[in-house]
């Protein structure tokens, strides 16, 4: 029996892409869609997929922070033989599940390094009878591509893709701000709202400062700064601090950060109850990835964000942080300026400016991305594409 939805996702450094895809998969399963989540990154413990079925592909990760090459699970550069095995595993899963809807996370707007796998997958989808609907899933802001790469992505969308879902609110950020060629997508572009988890209600305030580093592969510097910043902070020096370090941070680095912490600071690996900790914290310190920022907005807590910029080529987090800082929602500390002293000052500043104010998501901000995505994918799954069509101009309904 054919699956309703198959979602392909690849996380490389952090785990944000996988978390967003898993929330969409869980949302689809919750409304009765038989959903398969195919993950190409390193396995993540305690991943919440609801009723969706998780299928692990041969794992790849970024060879370095520039995303310029792929490595296997053991850190070795991938070769042509590895790529062939990965491609064959993905195509075999697609053939076995026969999904009515194929959703690709980010590609072809990113993840060009996976074209050895995803171009054959798109070709297999178009060749299959009946042909599945093909959908692309994007966050709100992208790293701006050069014109040639943008044209390449739009050409692939024209040939293979029925709908592009942007998981954001155009009142906050529009895709064409960082990807101008998106204007050429016309009615195939749909904004779903932000994909956020259901935040716990009635959580008692803990009074602690919560520092989180996502997947952790590039969060070591923030962890080191945080455990030294508490003693330098005037307003929060007496409050307990909790530092969460992701699974991709090597154990030796984790131990070094833990050993540098004072008695008022707890250092531990990521926890499955992160949403509860966030909802009850006094202030959050984090990077500015999509998932973290949307969780901050949903929880309504004051925050300091340190956007990841890598070697300077990663602008997505900085753009998001600047946008939110301009509205007064967060205090932004550039990664290049990260020191314990500057982090302590940013924490004090954020708490002083937020004292006595209510922290809630901006009025009207669309946080319904999970439900809207499930609605759209469910509508596609219930309707087969027109026979013999290469790519239909419209989906089963436009009432979205």
Give the pLDDT confidence score for residue 172 in this predicted structure.
82
Residue 361 confidence (pLDDT): 47
Hey, how many other C-beta atoms are within 10 angstroms of the C-beta on 188? 20
> What pLDDT is recorded for position 351?
93
**Closest to 344 measured CA to CA, from 217, 174, 209:** 209
What pLDDT score was predicted for residue 359? 46
Question: Which pLDDT score is estimated for 386?
Answer: 61
> Looking at residue 29, what is its pLDDT?
98
Cα–Cα distance, 120 to 359 (Å, whole number): 47
The domains of the chain, with CATH numbers, are 5-196+367-381 (3.40.50.2000), 209-354 (3.40.50.2000)
Over residues 242-273, the pLDDT tens digits come to: 999 988 899 999 999 999 999 999 999 999 89
State how far the Cα of 340 lies from the Cα of 301, in Å rounded to an integer: 22
Per-residue pLDDT, 390 = 54
The pLDDT assigned to 398 comes to: 52
Q: In the chain, which residues have pLDDT < 50?
A: 356, 358-361, 393
* Positive/negative CA dihedral, 358, 199, 197, 187: negative
pLDDT at 116: 97
């Amino acid at each position: 029996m054919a699956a309703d939805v198959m979602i392909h996702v690849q996380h490389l450094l952090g785990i944000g892409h996988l978390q967003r895809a898993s929330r969409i998969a869980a949302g689809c399963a919750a409304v009765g869609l038989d959903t398969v989540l195919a993950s190409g990154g390193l396995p993540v413990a305690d991943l919440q997929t609801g009723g969706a079925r998780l299928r692990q592909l041969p794992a790849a990760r970024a060879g370095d922070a520039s995303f310029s090459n792929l490595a296997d699970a053991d850190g070795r550069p991938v070769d042509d033989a590895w790529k062939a095995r990965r491609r064959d595993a993905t195509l075999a899963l697609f053939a076995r599940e026969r999904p009515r809807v194929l959703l690709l996370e980010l590609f072809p707007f990113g993840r060009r390094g996976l074209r050895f796998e995803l171009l054959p997958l798109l070709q297999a989808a178009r060749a299959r009878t009946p042909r599945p609907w093909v959908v692309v899933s994007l966050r709100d802001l992208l790293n701006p591509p050069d014109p040639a790469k943008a044209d390449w992505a739009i050409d692939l969308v024209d040939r293979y893709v029925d709908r592009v879902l942007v998981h954001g609110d155009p009142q906050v950020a529009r895709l064409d701000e960082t990807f101008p060629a998106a204007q050429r997508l016309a009615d195939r572009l749909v904004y779903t709202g932000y994909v956020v988890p259901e935040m716990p209600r009635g959580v008692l305030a803990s009074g602690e400062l919560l520092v989180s580093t996502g997947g952790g592969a590039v969060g070591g510097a923030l962890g080191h700064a945080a455990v030294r910043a508490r003693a330098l902070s005037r307003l929060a020096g007496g409050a307990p601090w909790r530092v969460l370090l992701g699974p991709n941070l090597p154990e030796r680095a984790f131990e070094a950060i833990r050993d540098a912490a004072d008695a008022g600071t707890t250092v531990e690996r990521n926890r499955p109850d992160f949403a509860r900790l966030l909802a009850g914290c006094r202030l959050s310190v984090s990077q500015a990835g999509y998932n973290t920022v949307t969780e901050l907005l949903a929880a309504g807590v004051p925050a300091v964000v340190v956007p990841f910029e890598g070697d300077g080529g990663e602008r997505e987090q900085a753009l998001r942080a600047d946008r939110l800082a301009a509205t007064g929602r967060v205090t932004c500390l550039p990664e290049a300026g990260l020191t314990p002293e500057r982090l302590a000052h940013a924490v004090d500043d954020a708490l002083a400016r937020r004292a006595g104010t209510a922290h809630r998501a901006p009025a009207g901000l669309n946080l319904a991305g999970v439900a809207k995505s499930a609605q759209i994918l469910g509508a596609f799954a219930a309707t087969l594409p027109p026979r013999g069509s290469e790519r239909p101009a419209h989906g089963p309904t436009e009432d979205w």
